[in-house]
Amino acid sequence: MLDKNVPYAGFFMIRKAGKTHSTYQLPDGYKFAFFDDGDEINWARIETSVLEFDNEFAALMHFTEKFMPHADELRRRCIFVENSKGEKVATSMAWWHHVDGQRRAWLHWVATHPQYQGLGLGKAIVSRVTELMLELEGDVDFYLSTQTWSYKAIRIYMAHGYEPTSEKALYKDKSNNYKKAMRILRELGVGE
């Protein structure tokens, strides 16, 4: 869950082509499932539970606008973790964005419902989505957008070979506050 008590700075991370990443398995009783019709509700519920959106309606509207036009891609790029009851409790995407006419691969919208945090689901889903991006995009640079409020997740990203980057203009409508983020993360002991 986002820690909004920490000063905010948004920034980007990169997993450079050829970099190895850690492999983590799901704990017993959990399994991966790809997006299926109706899962936009589950995505909105999970993302709202970690405070990415103020309410599920806003999350659903975002998902509908940004991702539903690519429904076929969602079925092979959006992953959930299901518990033993079949409830979706974590999610992420192997997505892409076009920047300056160039397609770039992005690890996107990683979230684990707070009730299920601390069980290793986040590590496992980042591992699986990184593997999925290798399958779908090849061994190219992968990016992600994050913020200092997600400092616990940043440790997971780093374990998978992602590192902060000072590159600019990687994502439309988002700026890279690299220097401020690195100062805040150092104060939190992240990356040491």
Domain residue ranges in the chain: 10-188
The pLDDT of residue 191 is above 80: no
What is the spatial distance between Cα 164 and Cα 46, in angstroms, rounded to a whole number?
A: 25
Indicate the class that CATH gives domain 10-188. alpha beta
Question: What are the residues whose beta carbons fall under 8 Å from the beta carbon of 12, sequence distance 6 or more?
Answer: 143, 144, 145, 146, 164, 165, 167, 170, 171, 174, 176, 178
pLDDT of 1-59, one tens digit each? 789 999 999 999 999 999 988 899 999 999 999 999 999 999 999 999 999 999 999 99
In order of 8, 10, 49, 83, 178, the CA distances from 149 in angstroms are 6, 9, 15, 26, 14
The pTM of the full predicted model, rounded to 2 decimals, is: 0.93
What does the pLDDT read at residue 121? 98
pLDDT of 89-126, one tens digit each? 999 999 998 877 888 999 999 999 999 999 999 999 99
What is the spatial distance between Cα 129 and Cα 43, in angstroms, rounded to a whole number?
A: 15
Largest CA distance in the chain: 44
